Amino acid sequence: MYAVCLRYAHTSLEADDILQNSFVKVFTKHYLYDGKGSLEGWIKRIVVNTAIETHRKNKRSYMENIDDIQLSVSSLVGTEQTGYQELLALIQQLPLGYKTVFNLYAIEGYSHKEIAEMLSISEGNSKSQLSRARQWLQNKLVKTAI
């Protein structure tokens, strides 16, 4: 779960706070788990929601209204020699809004509609943020020749 927190946080200290707050929620709301899905999935959902709440509470303005740019996921990675750790390090460098949407869509598997509802933004804005994140990552991959 700490890895999930790190994907949304700017620093490891912020990730620690998100993880701690998440587990407080897990322990205080354990009676809400109905056993229908996996316990890990239920906890992961709490962690993701806590990360999003943390950013809202900090009143960070991280969403921008930008034009949609269509880029394919396959163009993001480029080559097979791209190392997993290097790619994760680049994702950590994404601007906060891009990183949040990228993680929710590409890593967590949420739809743009779900992301829009979670972050209180439009679906178009979610798509735009994802496109910009992919473009940013692609530019970094080209520059660093990973």
**Domain ranges in the chain?**
1-60, 63-146
- How many Cβ atoms sit within 10 Å of the Cβ of residue 67? 8
Residue 52: left (phi > 0), alpha (psi -120 to 50), or beta?
Answer: alpha
Closest-CA residue to 121 (of 70, 75, 52, 71): 52
Closest-CA residue to 92 (of 2, 8, 14, 1): 8
Whether 86 and 124 have beta carbons less than 8 Å apart is answered as no
The string of pLDDT tens digits covering residues 81-131 is: 457 778 888 888 888 889 999 988 988 888 999 999 888 899 999 999 999
Whether 14 and 31 have beta carbons less than 8 Å apart is answered as no
Q: In this structure, which CATH number among 3.90.1150.10, 3.40.50.10540, 3.40.50.300, 1.10.10.10 belongs to the domain 63-146? A: 1.10.10.10
The string of pLDDT tens digits covering residues 42-62 is: 999 899 989 888 877 765 433
Percent of the chain topping pLDDT 90: 26
> Amino acid identity, residue 90?
L
